[in-house]
């Protein structure tokens, strides 16, 4: 059913008073018109949510600076995880800046009750912070790359992980912008299936891949991947009680994601990089193009295309 966006703006509560009556120009009595004004519940954040967004924005900014400094302090051959981690918090910093300044947010209307004849009787208009989903689309694959490189996962599994991850976040975004609850939970179910595949790839394939590595790397991967999976599992739960069932209000949602995001990005990042740096002798070094650029043997010289004649 089509819902014109401006239709609800004035309708905060149902029209309880006398129904509007229109009179015909000829002054003949005109039948009473009962407009189907639905009940609209408004769910917006307050100053608490707003301040929380700014706090996380600062935390992400400061952590990014720290990660860039840490990156510069190690040789370029050992810098890949540092760079990925710094990109993750930088993206989160930009996304939180967008949300705190009101740029990455929309007001979405969902039908929560309608009659058998599809007359909408109850709606909810809630803030949706879509900047989160852009952030997650970029950063969750990078977080998984961090873990995959640590485990030594093969390219095929990394590709499957990336694809499942992007599917999970984008179907989550569709769930957040669904027109009615059934459609929303449908998208949510697809996102959960994609998430289960991530758990499988990381928990099973990742553990198998790391089993050939040294004891320290094995123990570290076991701990940090468990931390990640436990933490990531809380995201769909928060979504379910916030955007999904709307049991918690928008401020509660902002605070819950703020705590999770700080644990999943800066805390995860510091743990990963400090441990990685402390294992500098056993951690892999990346040379070649990564460290030295295209060397003279790899570049085409004039005449190469036509052979040596
Ligand atoms: C959604 C809703 C739909 C169902 C599922 C979800 C999972 C989201 C996850 C997000 C992880 C985000 C991280 C952010 C770091 O800052 C999209 C919430 C399964 C797992 C780690």
Q: From start to end of 179-300, where are the E strands?
A: none
Residue 37: the pLDDT is 85
- CB neighbour class for 307 (10 Å; exposed up to 12, middle 13-18, buried from 19): exposed
- Which of 60, 99, 136 is the pocket-test mutation for ligand 1 (most atoms within 8 Å of CB)? 136
The DSSP code for 180 is B
123-135, pLDDT tens digit by residue?
999 999 999 999 9
Residue 116: the pLDDT is 87
Cα gap 219→222, rounded to integer Å: 5
- In the structure, which protein residues have their CB atom closer than 6 angstroms to any atom of ligand 1? 92, 136, 139-140, 143, 168-169, 172, 175, 188, 191-192, 195, 232, 235-236, 239, 261, 264-265
Residue 246: the pLDDT is 94
Centre of ligand 1 from the C-alpha of residue 296, in Å: 45
Centre of ligand 1 from the C-alpha of residue 225, in Å: 15
The residues, any chain, with a CB within 8 Å of residue 246's CB and separated by 6 or more, are 43, 124, 126
Q: Residue 48 half-sphere exposure, CB side, CA atoms within 13 Å?
A: 10
- Which of 235, 262, 265 is the pocket-test mutation for ligand 1 (most atoms within 8 Å of CB)? 235
The residues, any chain, with a CB within 8 Å of residue 188's CB and separated by 6 or more, are 171, 172, 175, 236, 239, 240, 244
Residue 277: the pLDDT is 86
Q: Let me know: does 273 contact 70? Beta carbons within 8 Å.
A: yes
Q: Let me know: does 224 contact 216? Beta carbons within 8 Å.
A: no
Residue 14: the pLDDT is 37
Atom of ligand 1 nearest to the CA of 188: 3
Centre of ligand 1 from the C-alpha of residue 235, in Å: 5
Q: Let me know: does 283 contact 68? Beta carbons within 8 Å.
A: no
The residues, any chain, with a CB within 8 Å of residue 272's CB and separated by 6 or more, are 81, 85, 146, 150, 224
pLDDT by residue for the chain (309 residues), tens digit each?
444 444 433 333 333 333 333 334 445 555 565 566 889 999 999 999 999 999 999 999 999 999 999 999 999 999 999 999 999 999 999 999 999 999 999 999 999 898 888 889 999 999 999 999 999 999 999 999 999 999 999 999 999 999 999 999 999 999 999 989 999 999 999 999 999 999 999 999 999 999 999 999 999 999 999 999 999 999 999 999 999 999 999 999 999 999 999 999 999 999 999 998 888 766 778 888 888 888 755 555 555 544 444
Q: Which CATH architecture has domain 43-104+129-282?
A: Up-down Bundle (1.20)
Helix pair 215-239, 181-200: axis angle to 10 deg: 180
Atom of ligand 1 nearest to the CA of 173: 17
Cα gap 194→144, rounded to integer Å: 14
β 120-128/106-114 pair status: antiparallel
The residues, any chain, with a CB within 8 Å of residue 271's CB and separated by 6 or more, are 224, 227
The total number of residues shown for the chain amounts to 309
Residue with tokens 């981690």: 85
Q: Let me know: does 243 contact 175? Beta carbons within 8 Å.
A: yes
- CB neighbour class for 259 (10 Å; exposed up to 12, middle 13-18, buried from 19): middle
């Amino acid at each position: 059913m089509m819902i014109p966006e401006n239709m609800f703006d004035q309708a905060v509560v149902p029209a309880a008073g006398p129904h509007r009556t229109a009179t015909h120009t000829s002054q003949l009595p005109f039948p009473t018109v009962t407009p189907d004004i639905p009940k609209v519940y408004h769910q917006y954040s307050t100053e608490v949510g707003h301040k929380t967004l700014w706090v996380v924005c600062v935390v992400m900014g400061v952590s990014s600076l720290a990660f860039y400094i840490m990156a510069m302090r190690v040789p370029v051959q050992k810098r890949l995880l540092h760079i990925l981690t710094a990109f993750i918090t930088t993206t989160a910093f930009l996304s939180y800046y967008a949300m705190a300044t009101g740029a990455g947010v929309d007001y979405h209307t969902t039908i929560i009750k309608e009659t058998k004849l599809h007359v909408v009787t109850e709606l909810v208009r809630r803030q949706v912070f879509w900047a989160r989903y852009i952030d997650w689309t970029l950063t969750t694959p990078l977080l998984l790359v961090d873990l995959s490189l640590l485990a030594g996962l093969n390219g095929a599994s990394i590709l499957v992980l990336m694809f499942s991850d992007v599917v999970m976040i984008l179907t989550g975004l569709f769930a957040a912008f669904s027109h009615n609850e059934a459609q929303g939970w449908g998208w949510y179910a697809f996102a959960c299936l994609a998430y289960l595949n991530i758990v499988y790839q990381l928990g099973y394939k990742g553990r198998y891949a790391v089993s050939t590595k040294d004891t320290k790397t094995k123990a570290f991967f076991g701990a940090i991947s468990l931390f990640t999976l436990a933490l990531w599992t809380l995201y769909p739960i928060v979504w379910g009680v916030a955007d999904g069932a709307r049991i918690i209000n928008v401020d509660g949602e902002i605070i819950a994601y703020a705590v999770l995001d700080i644990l999943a990005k800066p805390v995860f990042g510091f743990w990963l990089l400090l441990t990685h740096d402390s294992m500098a002798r056993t951690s892999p070094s990346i040379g070649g193009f990564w460290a030295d650029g295209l060397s003279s043997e790899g570049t085409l010289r004039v005449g190469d295309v036509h052979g040596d004649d």
